[in-house]
Amino acid sequence: MNVAESVAVSPVPLSAPEPIFNCPECSHWLAPGTLACPDCHAIVYAQHMKAIATAALAEEGEKHWAEAREIWRQGLGWLPAETKQYDAVVERMTLLDGRIRGAEDTKAKWTKRLGPLAPVVFFLAKAKSFLFILFKLKFLLSFVGFFAIYWALFGWRFGLGFTLSILVHEMGHYVAARRRGLKVDLPVFLPGLGAYVRWYSMGINLEELSSIALAGPFFGLIFAVACGAVAKFSVGTTQELFSALAHVTAWLNLLNLIPVFGLDGAQATYALDKMQRWLILASALIFFGLSQEWMLLGVAAGMGWRLWTGDVPEKPGTGTFLRYVLLIFALGIVVYVFPDTTRRF
């Protein structure tokens, strides 16, 4: 099979970019349909090709060879022929052709070996039922183990709520990474420590990295506010339970905003310049003065240390700065408003 032949795959819709009539590099006027600037020779739709590459590599990461090949094929229409970029895409498609043939050969061999059972086995594999049990077992087992420990310490109601709060935080990272077409694994829980989501950056910029990092505390904030709302409209043990969950969830997500080690705040800080770090430090101190929540001093101290680490970006991340400040402010409010009643469980 060569690159000119078609492959039967499900449609992979990719929206076409807006027509470009001025070169993104030198602003030279371009006639409709121009793919390479006649003046500076820049690829006109380079940004669109980056999106295509990200989508294709994500499919390759899932071993969806035919879908990945189709995405690369669509990319050829936005590249001038006889360029190194065009040749690189053709080479990639040729590589995927080999993998598609290999997958077909493997399927043919297993069809012969399994005989009449082959349709059933292939159906389970396609539906991912068997693969889910096999490869997602670590998520299920770690979730149950985590829940069991906190059930034993605080009872099943608080144990389940606390475990769900950790899951919601990690799913924030998961959803943010998936939205950007990145390969990401389900959360793995570490009893007594927390949980983590492993994802593969594949060349994203600092602003996107910070967005994925702060998505965890943002989802955690939503969970904390939801628990707080239930507490406000409840009485008795239900009120104590959800007040405790709101407090602990907000406190842990505030802890994650301290910009040290592998915490979410450390990843987000890479997108902040020195002035923005100074402003977050000052904001944390002001919020501490208003709420007396000691975790805000941790955020301030960590940001003070990051003023001298020499990892300042060339371009400041305004969006990251605003999200960071709003998160420490909102989480600080939740911690302040809802008392810690975990001692009653």
313, pLDDT greater than 70? yes
54 is in which domain, residue-wise? 8-135
Model pTM? Answer: 0.63
How far is the C-alpha of 221 from the C-alpha of 233, rounded, in Å? 19
Q: Which has more pLDDT, 247 or 75? A: 247
Alpha helices in the chain (DSSP H): 46-61, 65-76, 84-114, 118-127, 129-135, 137-154, 156-179, 206-232, 236-255, 264-269, 274-291, 295-306, 318-337
Per-residue pLDDT tens digits for 143-152 = 888 999 999 9
How far is the C-alpha of 291 from the C-alpha of 337, rounded, in Å? 9
Q: Are 158 and 242 contacting, i.e. CB atoms less than 8 angstroms apart? A: no
- Of 2-11, 144-153, 157-166, the one with minimum mean pLDDT is 2-11
Q: Considering only CA atoms, which of 315, 217, 308, 310 is closest in space to residue 263? A: 217
- Of 139-143, 237-241, 261-265, the one with minimum mean pLDDT is 139-143
Judgement on whether residues 126 and 157 belong to the same structural domain of the protein: no
**298 pLDDT band (50/70/90 cuts)?**
very high
Mean pLDDT, the chain, integer: 84
Q: Considering only CA atoms, which of 139, 192, 147 is closest in space to residue 165? A: 147
Q: Region 200-218: what's the mean pLDDT? A: 85
Q: Which has more pLDDT, 181 or 115? A: 181
Residue 2 resides in a domain: no
Q: Are 316 and 278 contacting, i.e. CB atoms less than 8 angstroms apart? A: no
Judgement on whether residues 300 and 191 belong to the same structural domain of the protein: yes
178, pLDDT greater than 50? yes
User: Residue 273, class by beta-carbon neighbours within 10 Å (0-12 exposed, 13-18 middle, 19+ buried)?
Assistant: middle
Judgement on whether residues 168 and 294 belong to the same structural domain of the protein: yes
Judgement on whether residues 116 and 147 belong to the same structural domain of the protein: no
How high is the pLDDT of residue 136?
A: 66
Q: Are 221 and 328 contacting, i.e. CB atoms less than 8 angstroms apart? A: no
Judgement on whether residues 186 and 331 belong to the same structural domain of the protein: yes
Residues above pLDDT 90, as percent of the chain: 40
How high is the pLDDT of residue 55?
A: 86
Residue 239 resides in a domain: yes
DSSP codes, 39-108: TT--BTTHHHHHHHHHHHHHHHHTT-HHHHHHHHHHHHTTS-TTSHHHHHHHHHHHHHHHHHHHHHHHHH
**123 pLDDT band (50/70/90 cuts)?**
low
173, pLDDT greater than 80? yes
Judgement on whether residues 228 and 243 belong to the same structural domain of the protein: yes
Residue 1 resides in a domain: no
Q: List residues bridging with 196 in a β-sheet.
A: 188
Q: How many domains does the chain have?
A: 2
How high is the pLDDT of residue 12?
A: 47
Judgement on whether residues 105 and 236 belong to the same structural domain of the protein: no
Residue 89 resides in a domain: yes
Residue 64 resides in a domain: yes
Residue 90 resides in a domain: yes
Q: Which has more pLDDT, 5 or 300? A: 300
Q: Are 207 and 267 contacting, i.e. CB atoms less than 8 angstroms apart? A: no
Q: Which residue has the tokens 């709003």?
A: 326
Judgement on whether residues 190 and 336 belong to the same structural domain of the protein: yes
- Of 124-128, 245-249, 304-308, 329-333, the one with minimum mean pLDDT is 124-128
Residue 221 resides in a domain: yes
Which of residues 117, 135, 153 is at a domain's end?
135
69, pLDDT greater than 80? yes
How high is the pLDDT of residue 132?
A: 54
Judgement on whether residues 72 and 105 belong to the same structural domain of the protein: yes
Judgement on whether residues 212 and 119 belong to the same structural domain of the protein: no
Judgement on whether residues 126 and 189 belong to the same structural domain of the protein: no
Judgement on whether residues 176 and 192 belong to the same structural domain of the protein: yes
Which of residues 135, 170, 197 is at a domain's end?
135
Which of residues 95, 116, 135 is at a domain's end?
135
How high is the pLDDT of residue 1?
A: 35
